[in-house]
Amino acid sequence: MSQTDPEVHPTVEDVAEDIATMEIRGAATIADAAAEALAAQAEDSDATDPEAFRAEMRAAARRLRETRPTAVSLPNSLRYVLGAMEGDSVEELRESVTAGAEEFRTELDQAQENLGRIGANRLRDGDTVMTHCHSTDALSCVEHALEQGKEIHAIVKETRPRKQGHITARWLREMDVPVTLIVDNAARRYLDQTDHVLVGADSIAADGSVINKVGTSGLAVNARERGVPIMVAAQTLKLHPDTMTGHTVEIEMRDEREVLTLDEEDEIGDVTVENPAFDVTPPRYVDAIVTERGQFPPESIVTLMRELFGDQQGGEPWEK
Ligand code: RUB
């Protein structure tokens, strides 16, 4: 935060902290929480003039933006809500922000539902899906397949180092899906029993590359070699507009202590630990990107991006 930045609301501070520490995690959930935090900032602001109010909103968005760099759903959410901000008085501005946040959150839920219905059509009765990490978009496809009366089985990768596979296993069990939990290294062996690899995405680049939890790219390469189709469930909120103009997606590097505790390091000796949270799966390893607007071969996702973002250029609303 710069010297001149106004104070941000405690809710924004708490949400930012929870996103950074992964209490709130997963691209869609992060986007939803960020929109809600902006609404809290607007509702409780005691700014008396419109410019002070706008400055507060920008400071709140900046604070949320700096938490995690890879999931584009976060800046897309902030852009949506700040883009809705309009009016001449504080009251008008406040109302436009809270209405924008509510609309965003409703659309997000709706998109996930619609995507789930489309993705479910790819799954047949009796299919086994292999999952990596925990994706609410991916699980929406399973949920809708079950609603269509299909029986689905799941092989769930543990997903080191944070073990988000446990969250996926819990959600699937709540849906009564039979779950086999495996360590990440066992994935190739179990691809023989898998009908679809089903993952989510944090960002999708204009060339159709999929940025998702580290390990996704290795899984996709192995799946392709075994002839297992790879399906990415990603609502259009995951499309990264900056990649249309040549920017790359920053891969978050997380704390080494997620991989190696101090005690473990004492035993091993001094080692360098690298802990990238995400990786990039090239489009040639992806069979379909399933969005709420239909399913796309990865190479054609750019047409959808042009339609959605047009020639969108220039700085972000929180950078003004
Ligand atoms: C989460 C992750 C998920 C995507 C999609 O990583 O890689 O696959 O965010 O999730 P982390 P969703 O646990 O590091 O946040 O479909 O819920 O948006």
* Contact predicate 93/86, CB 8 Å: yes
Instruction: Verify whether residue 44 is a known catalytic residue.
Output: no
28 CA: nearest ligand 1 atom:
18
**DSSP run (H or E) holding 230:** strand 230-233
pLDDT digits (tens, 9 = 90+) for 76-119: 999 999 999 999 999 999 999 999 999 999 999 999 999 999 99
Could you give the percent of the chain with pLDDT greater than 70? 98
d(CA 194, CA 254): 31
CA distances from 299 to 6, 163, 296, 304, 305 (A): 43, 31, 8, 11, 11
Average pLDDT score over residue span 29-48: 97
Res 54 pLDDT > 90: yes
Catalytic residue among 32, 133, 141, 287: 133
Our mutation pick for probing the ligand 1 site, out of 108, 213, 235, 237, counting the most ligand atoms within 8 A of Cβ, is 213
The reply to whether ligand 1 has any atom less than 6 angstroms from the CB of 140 is no
**Portions of the chain given CATH number 1.20.120.420:** 10-114
Beta-sheet strand order (sheet of 210-213): 203-204, 210-213, 278-281
pLDDT digits (tens, 9 = 90+) for 191-220: 999 999 999 999 999 999 999 999 999 999
Domain 10-114 has CATH 1.10.150.20: no
138 CA to middle of ligand 1, Å? 10
Bridge-based pairing of strands 294-296 and 288-291 is antiparallel
* Contact predicate 10/43, CB 8 Å: no
205 CA to middle of ligand 1, Å? 16
**DSSP run (H or E) holding 296:** strand 294-296
d(CA 24, CA 30): 6
**Portions of the chain given CATH number 3.40.50.10470:** 115-309
Lowest mean pLDDT among 27-31, 164-168, 242-246, 313-317: 313-317
55 CA to middle of ligand 1, Å? 31
CA distances from 106 to 36, 100, 294 (A): 11, 10, 19
Residue 161, preceding peptide bond in cis (omega within 30° of 0): yes
Instruction: Verify whether residue 88 is a known catalytic residue.
Output: no
Would you state the structure tokens that stand for residue 197, as one six-digit string?
């690899």
- Based on the number of CB atoms within 10 Å of its own CB, is 168 exposed (0-12), middle (13-18) or buried (19 or more)? buried
Average pLDDT score over residue span 34-52: 97
Would you state the structure tokens that stand for residue 88, as one six-digit string?
């001449």
CA distances from 257 to 17, 19, 140, 158 (A): 18, 18, 32, 18
CA distances from 26 to 71, 142, 210, 212 (A): 8, 17, 15, 10
- CATH of 115-309, picked from 3.40.50.10470, 3.40.50.150, 1.10.1200.10, 3.40.1280.10, is 3.40.50.10470
pTM for the whole structure: 0.96
Per the rule left: phi > 0, alpha: psi between -120 and 50, beta: everything else, 6 is: beta
pLDDT digits (tens, 9 = 90+) for 159-183: 999 999 999 999 999 999 999 999 9
Q: What is the structure's pLDDT at 6?
A: 84
57 CA to middle of ligand 1, Å? 26
How does DSSP assign 119-152, residue by residue? HHTTPPTT-EEEE-S--HHHHHHHHHHHHTT---
User: Pick from 202, 160, 156, 146: which is nearest to 181 by CA?
Assistant: 156
